[in-house]
Structure 1
């Protein structure tokens, strides 16, 4: 099984490894007797295989993900305008731990593969074709930081010295040479639109959309509230700017449990995860039939929290020899603060409603 832990998709080399990597191969589901007869080294290898598998079981194609990808293919997948014309962008927003970046990565991988299949690995001028560039903002980014990150992706020799304008011109040259078609900017919420630097970076995004022959995919938390689509002020009220006219907004939300359809969708997701487990003592159907509500309460409907709970539960089950997931075992597993806090608040409400 391929170990892909030592890479960053913030560089072209790392991204190429992700795109070229074969699907993870599921380890064999051995019986407890066979596991107990293994030598120390055999057991260590088998447990490592399962740890890598459970940590990388693949992206679950939920209804929300499928709907998002349909929108992305409609907007970005159809952007075939000449380079002199600005292309439509997409902004994806929602709370942390909902799977935004994972969904975008899967789309970007498929987009990359389509571009290579249709146009070849090399451009007409013999340069490597890199259809996708992904950068992540952090801290309080300036225009120079943003432009520098575009050069860092390519490990460009000019990424260390120069002005913001120098970086932008160098990045444009590389994008043209490598025929980049999709620029993903993740964690855009770190941008502060109300600050001087925030305004400059916002203007820089407009420059990229106008002058680079790319589609942009913007990802972040609360982008609407932060002011991505607003520009200027008229009589004290913010008005929509050019970004609002060029950008398609899509929001990801947590799973719900109020309606029967929502509960069915949640059980479908849990069942899909359960089919991937490689634990000999796990009784198939336990999670979907008996622990579906428990898993919702623990994760509060957030995909990232659910995956963390399952992954850590599997690690504990293997390490302790339990080799199965039960409510008792999962109760010993701690996950993110938000999920744990909300769980305690829910439990308190239940105690207040049903004392004794």
Structure 2
């Protein structure tokens, strides 16, 4: 444990960057994978000096906060669907490339999943074609931008320029031309546009914005991957047209809608899926007193009720639970400790109904093959 001792400067493994800027995106793409801290026994943990224990706990905290991505069936399905769209979009520059829209409830991990796909695609393109273009520019296969409240046309173009580190002065047209030059020079192939539901979708602006998105798709030789919540309901896909006219909306014709489903336990396949997820997370926890089945057996129903099957809620709950387990010296997770951990408001609101159904015997996340087995003490 030499990394945990001594008087040298200790910065930890926090990585502060923004993937909405080129430098941050490149750090996300090229940064080393985190190494899971060594699991110490309670005896080994007690034998550490105060300084070494502080360092060890710091490493564990940042590790637990960044577990993942976990390649769930939902994530793998989305990867496959995105790859089918992006990797078949080999049309020449005079043809618009079909777009993808990942539209799902908040908290399911859709942004994380798409960023991971973008990172994999970026790495593959660099491995295939090299880090520089034939003209000597840095190759940037993917850009990632996130929109803010009521983004309009000029704001969207400025956000693209800001990612590349270009000036953001000028009107919408000059910004679009500046961004297009960067796309062509740096050989960008994919735009990931997160929080597209923040686009101004007022009745007056919807058609204008939809037309601008079509303009970007026509002008930039890239595949657009949009991420959002309730995008279809906001009318962007139908360009603000009436239901009778919606079938003629060009934006909708060019965009394939995908989703990311929450975990469900209505059938045996879903219950096994939930158990496999908890077993995978359990293996990644660095707690001195954890035991096999700590999550997947002891807390399977509890965690489902506390998260309502939403991945972000689940991981926030487990991350905070691990921090509390370390601080209290308990070094394991159980219902009593987890009851002291706060979670997001949406998950807590859904909790009471799920708990009532489970206590009434109407619902369980435990596979039938596990129902008769005694839980570990």
TM-score (norm 2): 0.89
Report the counterpart of residue 102 of structure 1 in structure 2.
112
Can you give the 5+ residue segments of structure 1 that lack an aligned partner in the other structure?
A: none
Report the counterpart of residue 27 of structure 2 in structure 1.
17
Query: For the Cα contact (< 8 Å) 2:151–2:199, is it kept in 1?
Result: yes
Query: For the Cα contact (< 8 Å) 2:308–2:347, is it kept in 1?
Result: yes
Report the counterpart of residue 318 of structure 1 in structure 2.
326
Report the counterpart of residue 199 of structure 2 in structure 1.
191
Q: Secondary structure at the match of 1:316?
A: helix
* Cα distance in 1 for residues equivalent to 2:358 and 2:180: 58
* Cα distance in 2 for residues equivalent to 1:83 and 1:107: 23
Query: For the Cα contact (< 8 Å) 2:282–2:295, is it kept in 1?
Result: yes
Report the counterpart of residue 276 of structure 1 in structure 2.
284
Query: For the Cα contact (< 8 Å) 1:184–1:217, is it kept in 2?
Result: yes
Q: CA deviation at 1:235?
A: 8.2
Query: For the Cα contact (< 8 Å) 2:237–2:249, is it kept in 1?
Result: yes
Report the counterpart of residue 349 of structure 2 in structure 1.
341
Decide which of 30, 48, 65 is 2:75's aligned counterpart. 65
Decide which of 131, 150, 158 is 2:160's aligned counterpart. 150
Q: CA deviation at 1:347?
A: 4.3
Query: For the Cα contact (< 8 Å) 1:180–1:214, is it kept in 2?
Result: yes
Can you give the 5+ residue segments of structure 2 that lack an aligned partner in the other structure?
A: 1-10, 363-377
Query: For the Cα contact (< 8 Å) 1:209–1:216, is it kept in 2?
Result: yes
* Cα distance in 1 for residues equivalent to 2:261 and 2:136: 43
Report the counterpart of residue 171 of structure 2 in structure 1.
163
Quickly say closer, same or farther: Cα 1:216–1:69, change in 2 above 3 A: same
1:327 aligns with 2:301: no
Give per-residue Cα distances to partners, 1:188-221, cap 9 Å, x unaligned. 1112323434433222111110010100000000
1:242 aligns with 2:250: yes
Quickly say closer, same or farther: Cα 1:202–1:323, change in 2 above 3 A: same
The 5-angstrom pairing of residues 1-356 of structure 1 reads: 3-156=13-166, 158-159=167-168, 161-231=169-239, 233=241, 238-347=246-355
Query: For the Cα contact (< 8 Å) 1:143–1:197, is it kept in 2?
Result: no
Q: CA deviation at 1:238?
A: 3.7
Equivalenced residue count is: 352
Q: CA deviation at 1:234?
A: 5.6
* Cα distance in 1 for residues equivalent to 2:21 and 2:15: 14
Quickly say closer, same or farther: Cα 1:297–1:126, change in 2 above 3 A: same
Between stretches 105-114 and 279-288, larger displacement belongs to 279-288
Quickly say closer, same or farther: Cα 1:162–1:335, change in 2 above 3 A: same
* Cα distance in 2 for residues equivalent to 1:286 and 1:350: 19
Q: Secondary structure at the match of 1:46?
A: helix
Q: CA RMSD in A?
A: 1.9
TM-score (norm 1): 0.94
Query: For the Cα contact (< 8 Å) 2:144–2:194, is it kept in 1?
Result: yes
* Cα distance in 1 for residues equivalent to 2:108 and 2:350: 16
